[in-house]
Amino acid sequence: MNKKPVVLVTRKLPIAVEKKLAEHFETLLNPDDKLYTTDELLQLAENVDAILPCHTEKFSAQTIAQLPFRVKAIANFSVGVDHVDLEAAKLRQIIVTNTPDVLSDATAEIAMLLILGAARRASEGERLVRSQQWKDWSPAFMVGKQITGKRLGILGMGRVGQVVARRARGFDMTIHYHNRKPLQSSDTEGAVYHAAVEDLLAEIDVLSIHCPASDETRGLLNRQRIAALHANAIVVNTSRGAVVDDDALVEALKSGAIAAAGLDVYNGEPDAIHPGYRQLDNVFLLPHIGSATEETRDAMGYRAIDNLIAIFKGEEPGDRVA
């Protein structure tokens, strides 16, 4: 009888996912959900055929070069793959996959939560209630921004961006978007395309960022582009922190150049995020929970498993990125 391929799972996964994985593979699990160092990761990978990591594990070119030749695949439990050097993986002939589609709804929900939370000053209000500082009501108390009928700009009209657009239409928002190229009209439902990011920013009240982190998008929302937004604008990010210039965004929030921000992702997360965000009342902060629903996390795991099954059957995985 053929032995099952051995898969290293770098973080604790949902019970149902780990159970299904064990049906097809020999598994090396992480029951304590420890964040491995690179040296620990390389040591654990010595006798495995594939790795199932999350975005918390960094596979630089140097790390990939040190992986044993037995490792045939990196099946990510994530959509974003900016934590993996794809060119280095290709050189080593290591197949890399991700888990698209299944987290679009969950991430879109968080984007809407961030929009509403930032617009209606939810962080400030919650702190007032918890600290017993809420003393009375007045017409001037906790006045925020209304989003109904406003203009939403979507930076990156991919799977998540399109779901956010549909959810936002429930608030009668007008949708504008920027992509590398315009979508088919059947996919945009009347959304207005802007070929230049600056043109998009000049026409909107809320910006929701949904583009992946790459060399082209790193620091995309910089000081110059933030200046194109008007003073009542709100910035929301559920994609990757690298897309935003933190110094520029903090400066704009402090000065009143823009009204508020809602963030679920950060540069240097979790320990080294920009300290300015924590000090500002006009920022609604979440701890990278865009995909954190039971349904979505299970679906992500099943997708990663399907990719691994295909790879070890000698078939092309459905979600190959390298």
User: Do 13 and 92 share a domain, yes or no?
Assistant: yes
| Residue 322 in domain | no
CATH at residue 57: 3.40.50.720
Domain that holds residue 72: 6-102+294-312
**The pLDDT of residue 108:** 98
Tell me the pTM: 0.95
**The pLDDT of residue 185:** 80
Positions marked catalytic: 240, 269, 288
The pLDDT-based confidence of 187 (bands split at 50, 70, 90) is: confident
User: Do 227 and 253 share a domain, yes or no?
Assistant: yes
User: Do 179 and 96 share a domain, yes or no?
Assistant: no
User: Do 123 and 252 share a domain, yes or no?
Assistant: yes
Q: What is the arithmetic mean of pLDDT over 234-245?
A: 98
**The pLDDT of residue 7:** 98
**The pLDDT of residue 154:** 98
| Residue 81 in domain | yes
Q: What are the two backbone dihedrals, phi and then psi, of residue 76, each rounded to the nearest 5 degrees? A: -70, 140
Contact 173, 207 (CB under 8 A): no
Mean pLDDT of the chain: 97
User: Do 224 and 120 share a domain, yes or no?
Assistant: yes
User: Do 251 and 204 share a domain, yes or no?
Assistant: yes
| Residue 1 in domain | no
User: Do 121 and 217 share a domain, yes or no?
Assistant: yes
| Residue 126 in domain | yes
| Residue 61 in domain | yes
| Residue 113 in domain | yes
The pLDDT-based confidence of 186 (bands split at 50, 70, 90) is: confident
Q: What is the arithmetic mean of pLDDT over 111-139?
A: 97
User: Do 183 and 277 share a domain, yes or no?
Assistant: yes
What sign has the CA pseudo-torsion 211, 212, 215, 221?
Answer: positive
Whether 1 has a pLDDT exceeding 70, the answer reads no
**The pLDDT of residue 188:** 84
pLDDT digits (tens, 9 = 90+) for 21-53: 999 999 999 999 999 999 999 999 999 999 999
| Residue 318 in domain | no
| Residue 213 in domain | yes
User: Do 84 and 204 share a domain, yes or no?
Assistant: no
User: Do 174 and 97 share a domain, yes or no?
Assistant: no
**The pLDDT of residue 146:** 98
User: Do 207 and 84 share a domain, yes or no?
Assistant: no
Domains held by the chain: number = 2
Contact 212, 191 (CB under 8 A): no
User: Do 98 and 109 share a domain, yes or no?
Assistant: no
